[in-house]
Amino acid sequence: MSATQPAQQDQRQFISGNEAVAQAARDAGCSVASAYPGTPSTEILEFIAAYPQVYTEWSINEKVSLEVAIGASLAGSRALCAMKHVGVNVASDALMTQTLIGAVGGLVLVVADDVGLSSSQNEQDSRYWGRFAHLPILEPSDAQETYAMTRLAFALSEQYEVPVIVRLTTRICHVKGVVTSSPAETYEPKGFTKDPARLVMVPGNAKKRIPLMMARDQVLRQVSEDHPLNYTENGSDQSVGFVTSGAAYFHVKEAYPEAPVLKLGFSHPAPIEKIRAFSTSVDKLVVVEEVEPLLETELRAADVNVYGKDILPRIGELSPSVLAPCISKLMGTPCKDELIPVEELFPRPPTLCVACPHLGIYYCLSHIKNTIISGDIGCYTLGAGHPWNALDTTISMGASLSVAMGIDKGRSEADKNKNVLAVIGDSTFMHMGMQGLLDITYNKGNVTVLLLDNRAVGMTGGQNAPSSGLDIHGEATMQVDFRKLCEALGVKSERIHEVNPYELPTLFKALRSETKVKEPSVIITNQPCVLTERYSQLPPLKVDDDKCTGCSNCLDVGCPAILVTRRETVIKPNGKEKELAFVNIDTAACTGCDLCTNTCAPDAIVPAFNVDKINAIEVK
């Protein structure tokens, strides 16, 4: 099970945890796999999609994704659904009922927590869902365990008729390790069996299922106590021992190889009695768990004396450099590890891509006054950063429209003359934004919606969505018509405008005119994500040094291909100081989108090559 065991030479693969999930699903005979893209879980479905024997789909959101998997399970097939941690919040409505119904074919929910917030709006501990929804949780520590536990999860799901959560973290998802696969199995779907008393959750039926769920909890608790995934590793130094799971296990082993460790693979329900017995074998017992003190709280409630978040951080990964000083302080011993102060690390704030169609939009928004702008989750969240500073709120997936509606209805006298604008991307709009627009039109809100259609799920790598007209395999399918969709949701036809975001004057005009209208309106931008095949690159640009005045207006676009080469402070005729910034353009990165030329009064931005060379460039 553990990567510490040597793999057979002829079966070794060097793969990530996400790829291990995909291979395990295939080898377990999984028939249906669904997901909505979200870092760090995105690659799971991309890998599964390569296996033709498994039906795969990018679902419209996590709730739909889980419901598709639930349907497949009820049809007797094995099904897997993958999502990042915040996705479970979206899927929870279905999840909380499915726990009463249970599984027929193996139903596995793979949840990837973004411990340390590498690309998420919050740090959330998905182990709570096991407690909340009465579901078992398996926690692998590396790619090998991820493969084995995912396969085991299907079997457990069928044996105890319960969906099983496989909890990953970013480190497990993306770090590669040696994995030895086991022979694939053929799974024959059981077929759908009519059973309304179990499958139709009206109150009368649901009440009868709750005692069964409670009884299942007791069975699973004993399974956890006896399960080989929860095992002890003896150590030579009994002064301190650890209870841990997931990626934290290897952090503990690296920092304290001589210490006894109780490793939890079947981490919920927790094997309380096994941990209690282990606690008597060490002088001090430390619970090392990322992020929340869930196990620690349960152990304290069971009168097991442990240390946990009283000595360890509650946010981020518990790496050896984090663990060592905390444990040294507990033990009263000096810490030999030297920590790298965070402030010494070179800051690298995220930004939009070169030529991103959102650049011009945020350039315009940064110059619009007297407007409250509600943002959303996706690439366009970056509009909150430098140089645009264009967003005033960003809460959760699809919330920009509803929050804007609340700002409109809740505005005080001080804001009565301000415009309210919501920004949302095409995939996010379909994920959870459509309801917000319907709420605005139905309840007569005064909100202008900027729907940034780049025809992809851009933030997670440009995956296809209904806006692209392609499915997960790149095959043609329906393509949503946002104009018709917005009209169907109640926006007047004359209040819907489609704009090329690279045409700044047109975009400015549309924004100014629609924000003055006292009714719902939508501005749809229509250029594709630059990272997709749909984007057509143009010949690159350069700066004519003799014409550049150092005004730095082009820097306000925020394009990463524009670089400052020299700064100079001058005294203006009115006596005030002004800083000039002279620039050049990284021609190798420039795609010739022409946004910066719109901002350059002296026409200092020109084609990088002469006409003959431009003609020689193959333009898509």
Is 81 among the annotated ligand-binding positions? no
Three-point CA angle 604, 608, 611, nearest 5°: 110
**378 DSSP assignment:** S
Is 335 among the annotated ligand-binding positions? no
Token pair for 265? 């693979």
Q: State the amino acid at position 7 in one-letter form.
A: A
Token pair for 105? 């074919």
Residue 461 burial (10 A CB sphere; 0-12, 13-18, 19+): middle
Is 593 among the annotated ligand-binding positions? yes
- Gyration radius of the chain over CA positions: 28
Is 590 among the annotated ligand-binding positions? yes
Phi, psi for residue 300 in degrees, rounded to 5:
-65, -40
Residues in Cβ contact with 80 at an 8 Å cutoff, skipping those fewer than 6 apart: 21, 25, 30, 32, 33, 34, 48, 69, 108, 109, 110, 150
Q: State the amino acid at position 144 in one-letter form.
A: Q
Is 173 among the annotated ligand-binding positions? no
Is 551 among the annotated ligand-binding positions? yes
Residue located via tokens 């879980």: 41
Three-point CA angle 337, 340, 343, nearest 5°: 155
Complete edge-to-edge strand list for the sheet that includes strand 79-84: 55-58, 32-35, 79-84, 107-113, 164-169, 137-138, 266-268
Report the distance separating Cα 379 and Cα 254, nearest Å.
36
Strands 176-180, 137-138: pairing kind: unpaired
Report the distance separating Cα 152 and Cα 147, nearest Å.
9
Exposure on the CB side of residue 283, measured as CA atoms within 13 A: 8
Report the distance separating Cα 148 and Cα 145, nearest Å.
5
First to last CA, the chain: 50
Task: Report the candidate in 321, 450, 261, 318 with the shortest Cα–Cα distance to residue 373.
Answer: 450
Residue 347 burial (10 A CB sphere; 0-12, 13-18, 19+): exposed
Is 326 among the annotated ligand-binding positions? no
Is 24 in a helix, a strand, or coil?
A: helix
Is 554 among the annotated ligand-binding positions? yes
Residues in Cβ contact with 20 at an 8 Å cutoff, skipping those fewer than 6 apart: 143, 144, 146, 147, 150, 179
Q: Tell me if the bond preceding 291 is cis, omega within 30° of 0.
A: yes
Residues in Cβ contact with 375 at an 8 Å cutoff, skipping those fewer than 6 apart: 381, 383, 384, 390, 391, 392, 393, 394, 400, 423
**584 DSSP assignment:** E
Per the CB < 8 A criterion, the answer to whether 113 and 83 are in contact is: no
Residues in Cβ contact with 176 at an 8 Å cutoff, skipping those fewer than 6 apart: 14, 15, 16, 143
Neighbours of 65 (CB within 10 A): 26
Report the distance separating Cα 486 and Cα 497, nearest Å.
11
Q: Can you say which residues are annotated as belonging to the binding site for [4Fe-4S] cluster?
A: 548, 551, 554, 559, 590, 593, 596, 600
Q: Can you say which residues are annotated as belonging to the binding site?
A: 548, 551, 554, 559, 590, 593, 596, 600
